Amino acid sequence: MYISLVELNVPITTIVALALASVTGGIRSFLRETLNRRVKWRWALIAFAVALAARLFVSLLALLTGAISSIEVSTVVPALVVVTYLFALLEEIGWRGFAVRRLVTYRSPFAALLITGIPWSIIHIFFFLAQGADLTTVAQVFIVNFALTVMVIWVYLRSGQNIWAAVILHGSQTIFSIFTGNIVPELFNQYWVVSYSLIALAILVTDQRMWFARPVQTKVGEAATSAA
């Protein structure tokens, strides 16, 4: 049920973005501006590192608290890797490539985070509600997804509004769940919330200058600077 709902949501975000782009400058122009940017190695590595740290931190917390005796690594299925990054791309095109990119031309990155991060997190709640999840699980899912939004928007903006950096982080944090497979579900969500929240908080605190900069001061992408 969860997978089917994800499959329905992912193309919807892209379709909406393309529909809006068709009346605000053209679909071709939007896709060219969004996709035709090479990600620098530095930011590709940073995206991978943040994703890996987020998942490994979950396992380390479980290990230190005695929930697991060792960190086990699950098998990686190549086809699943391809699908995961494809889904991440389709989501990022709509949320970061379209919405965030336009919001930071007249609002601060923090405002863009709230405007896009809250609905994006709420959407993911419905996947769990459909499975009969309790309120505690729903709250945990919201927190984790909002924290993930912080990470993705940060790497997207700091990399020069590069969609591929966002896709790498978004997709990789899912792939790196291979490190957390032996944690019982009842405890996993708790460690998940702590790990992602601490990393997101660190990003917010250490880079306040970017998050709360006015649009005219934002130098993280061509769109923001050209609008200024």
- Look at the chain and report how many structural domains it folds into: 1
Q: Which residues contact 153 (CB under 8 A, 6 or more apart)?
A: 96, 100, 109, 112, 113, 116, 117, 166
Please state the pTM of the whole predicted model. Answer: 0.89
What is d(CA 168, CA 209) in angstroms, rounded to the nearest whole number?
A: 24
Contact assessment for residue 162 and residue 37, using Cβ atoms and an 8 Å cutoff: yes
What is d(CA 226, CA 42) in angstroms, rounded to the nearest whole number?
A: 24
Question: How far from chain centre, in Å, is Cα 79?
Answer: 21
Percent of the chain at pLDDT above 70? 89
Reported as a pLDDT band with limits 50, 70 and 90, residue 3 is: very low
What is d(CA 17, CA 135) in angstroms, rounded to the nearest whole number?
A: 31
Q: Which residues contact 29 (CB under 8 A, 6 or more apart)?
A: 21
What is d(CA 53, CA 50) in angstroms, rounded to the nearest whole number?
A: 5
User: pLDDT tens digit string along 24-76?
Assistant: 888 989 999 899 888 999 999 999 999 999 999 999 999 999 999 999 999 98
Q: What range does the domain containing 66 cover?
A: 2-227
How many Cβ atoms sit within 10 Å of the Cβ of residue 115? 14
Contact assessment for residue 181 and residue 67, using Cβ atoms and an 8 Å cutoff: no
How many CA atoms lie less than 13 Å away from 60 in the CB half-sphere?
A: 9
User: What is the H or E stretch that residue 112 is in?
Assistant: helix 109-129
